[in-house]
Amino acid sequence: MLKLAVLVSGGGTNLQAVIDAIDAGKIRNACIDVVISNNANAYALTRAAEHGIDHMCISPKSYESRARFNDALTDVITSRGVDLVVLAGCLVILPPQLIAAYKNRIVNIHPSLIPAFCGKGFYGLKVHEEALKRGVKVTGATCHFVDEGTDTGPIILQKAVGVLPDDTPQTLQRRVMECAEWIILPLAIDLIANGCVTVADGVVKITEQQSETDGCC
Ligand code: GRF
């Protein structure tokens, strides 16, 4: 059974998608060990509490230095024996020692088709604003492993979402979440938990057939 730590900062709809997929048996052989937020007011913590999942706030603001925060967050994750760290709308910069210790064991969900609209400063609504400004006709979401860069790690799954003529950043964000993020994040966790994902030379290979990412919605 793969032990997950889910790191959040806000509403936690991606966390909810993971909880629901575990309950529905769509994620097999994985359980959420702990939900950690850098923001004490994140609704994601309420979602964890409502599901009886251990949860806590570890905020850089509560520590005298970034190094102390980095140690605290890394200690909690390693001491609990977490196997996979899931960044689900997590806006905090991860401790370098955590990234080193969890190579190809941290996944992130990003609301665009990487390498478009990603990297420093591309988070939240900004991603969708830029996609609309550029006039792309297709966008989507990417689930990827986390490395030392910003959105540069090996890509696990992507799902395309069409841009509609009257889309606003808000409507596009919602559709990308519903049609792509909430599908590929749980799917990636299931594939990892069941030994279907390998990484060689920075490229992910998936050994199980899956159709959920086909087409464009
Ligand atoms: C999502 O668009 C996710 O891709 C981004 O944060 C947004 C909100 O996520 N990283 P959530 O509702 O807190 O899961």
115-159: pLDDT as tens digits = 999 999 999 999 999 999 999 999 999 999 999 999 999 999 999
pLDDT at 217 over 90: no
Which of 50, 73, 102 finishes a domain?
Answer: 102
**Residue count (the chain):** 217
Question: What integer is the mean pLDDT of 102-109?
Answer: 98
167-205: pLDDT as tens digits = 999 999 999 999 999 999 999 999 999 999 999 999 999
Which residue has 């990417």 as its token pair? 142
**Whether 116 and 205 share a structural domain:** yes
Residue 103 Cα to ligand 1 middle (Å): 22
Measured CA to CA in angstroms, residue 178 lies from 13, 17, 70, 155, 193 at distances of 9, 10, 32, 20, 23
Q: What is the pLDDT of residue 106?
A: 98
Residue 72 Cα to ligand 1 middle (Å): 24
**Whether 201 and 113 share a structural domain:** yes
**Whether 93 and 127 share a structural domain:** no
Residue 15 Cα to ligand 1 middle (Å): 9
**Whether 124 and 216 share a structural domain:** yes
Which of 102, 129, 156 finishes a domain?
Answer: 102
Q: What is the pLDDT of residue 157?
A: 97
Mutate to test the pocket of ligand 1, among 38, 146, 179, 181 (most ligand atoms within 8 A of CB): 181
> φ and ψ at 158, to 5 degrees?
-135, 150
**Whether 74 and 60 share a structural domain:** yes
Q: Which domain holds residue 145?
A: 108-217
Which of 102, 126, 142 finishes a domain?
Answer: 102
Atom of ligand 1 nearest to the CA of 10: 13
* Strand (E) or helix (H) holding 193: helix 182-193
Q: What is the pLDDT of residue 139?
A: 98
Q: What is the pLDDT of residue 214?
A: 82
Residue 23 tokens read as 């309950």
**Whether 75 and 139 share a structural domain:** no
Q: What is the pLDDT of residue 216?
A: 81
Question: How many domains does the chain contain in total?
Answer: 2
- CATH value at residue 183: 3.40.50.170
**Whether 62 and 125 share a structural domain:** no
Q: What is the mean pLDDT of the chain?
A: 96
Q: Tell me if residue 144 is catalytic.
A: no
Which amino acid, one-letter code, is at 141? A
User: What is the SS3 assignment for 24?
Assistant: coil
**Whether 118 and 204 share a structural domain:** yes
* Strand (E) or helix (H) holding 98: helix 96-101
